[in-house]
A and B are shown apart, each in its own frame.
Chain A
């Protein structure tokens, strides 16, 4: 395998990526280069293929029986879909946070260390848990009850626990699939703040149907419409001077 390009500051790239579920094409010829240590938001109306696209970036679509794809997804210069690649290894480096918080019905502590533990983490698990929970801005709320069930946390806390769980794996990239859609405004604000901080250490790709949210938290924005990448660029530019008519119509609320 060739050395990843050192001066390439793209973490993830898709090349001519097309995705089908059975006969139905959901994503068409998408070329997207995602910069390291930035927040990239993928926006678009429901059913435009944004979640599908996201789940292709760490091979979470492998579980869907009639999923098929063409093109390439490059991570640090390597194609994720090469036969020699173990999807489990990929998912260790590219973590994921889901639409609804999905902590395991275990204790808070066990939720955080479960991932590192199954992969034979050698260091101190307690330190690891503390660090991950601090980075996820949850430590102060749970430090005295690490052995409580994670299911007793509020929705927002559960989602931050899921972020801590992803962070504990020390990933390069964290994918977030509408991470705030099941949360109230207060919890949403906390997650948005958290995403801002996480950018320093991780590359973040987030899917959202909330345009204000994309404008607030992201550096780059990709607008996907009916499976096609309509426009992609700096968030400021997309939201102030979009190049395409369709982007403008969408962000000004004329459809979607």
Chain B
């Protein structure tokens, strides 16, 4: 009788936990939606999405979010350009070339890389990466997109390499045997059989990493600057969506003004972007699971 009662109690506690999580999500989304709604009553949606000047704090005010989106995209593209090739090389080495001992030595190092606080990465960008870039390109501004993109690339590297490693390891060994039985070398098996066979899951890994890079805040706030602008250069100061939210949250801006509401609009856009990325990424993963089973 007692054990039955405990069963019920456990069930209830677990259910409450789930409900709290769900409620939190609903409340956050509702709050984002409500405040954004107030914002879009004053600023038309198309002006926000397609305007090319972001100056909500200065007169004359302007609410075109594109400069922030461009800043974010620079970080995303730059970081993926670094993390994808490196991550694939690491994963290929770990999965196809490394001995068991080598593997168990390298994996924890990657996990440490993933565990470094993002503020440390930001500081590292500012005090190490930027000076390095400036010795190569003296015109580089103190705050610049390149430096932040590089450290965000290092930040998402463990994620990409471990997801790709999982993707390679999930392939049946019979696939490798089939290739080796045709006289293939390790290199040919890795590049021509394993990599293409895991392509969909590698794609999913990239998309999940993209969404992580979009949402990354601390490093870009510290190292990329606070100058929202439409430009193509990586060596100049930018501002990302996340960094803008930090800037407004920390400044002394009245909580009832339009300036304050911009935070929610930008936050909502950020949320939608990462949500779409995650949905696409998970879709990739389930699709390939079906293919293999």
Contact = CB atoms under 8 A, between A and B. Distances in A.
A91 B180 contact: yes
Contact of B183 (A63, A100, A115): A115
A104 B172 CA distance: 11
Given A98-B174, A100-B174, A103-B178, A92 B183 contact: yes
Interface in B113-130: none
B289 to A, nearest CB: 14
B186 to A, nearest CB: 10
Contacts of A114: 179, 182, 192
Interface string A139-159: 000000000000100000000
B181 A60 contact: yes
Among B100, B175, B178, B185, residue most surrounded by chain A Cβ atoms (within 10 Å) = B178
Interface in B149-200: 172, 174-175, 177-185, 188, 192-193, 196-197
Contacts of A102: 172, 174-175, 177-178
Interface string B255-293: 000000000000000000000000000000000000100
Contacts, number: 63
Nearest to A89: B183
A12 to B, nearest CB: 16
Q: Please classify the interface of chain B as helix (H, G, I), strand (E, B), loop, or mixed, using the class held by over half of its residues.
A: helix
Contacts of B192: 114, 118
B177 A98 contact: yes
A216 interface: no
A98 B178 contact: yes
A104 B183 contact: no
Classify chain A's interface size.
20 to 34
Interface stretch (A41-49, A162-170, A227-235): A162-170
A169 B182 CA distance: 7
A95 B197 CA distance: 22
Contact of B182 (A63, A91, A100, A106): A91
A104 B177 contact: no
Contacts of A203: none
A53 B170 CA distance: 28
A183 to B, nearest CB: 15
A185 interface: no
Contact of B177 (A60, A165, A166): A60
Given A88-B185, A92-B183, A102-B172, A151 B291 contact: yes
25 contacts: A60-B177, A63-B177, A63-B180, A88-B183, A88-B184, A88-B185, A92-B183, A96-B177, A96-B181, A98-B174, A98-B178, A98-B181, A102-B172, A102-B177, A103-B178, A105-B175, A105-B197, A105-B291, A118-B183, A118-B184, A118-B188, A118-B192, A151-B291, A166-B182, A169-B183
Interface of A: 58, 60, 63, 65, 88-92, 95-96, 98, 100, 102-106, 114-115, 118-119, 151, 162, 165-166, 169
| A-B pairs, 4 with minimum CB distance | A115-B182, A92-B183, A102-B174, A96-B181
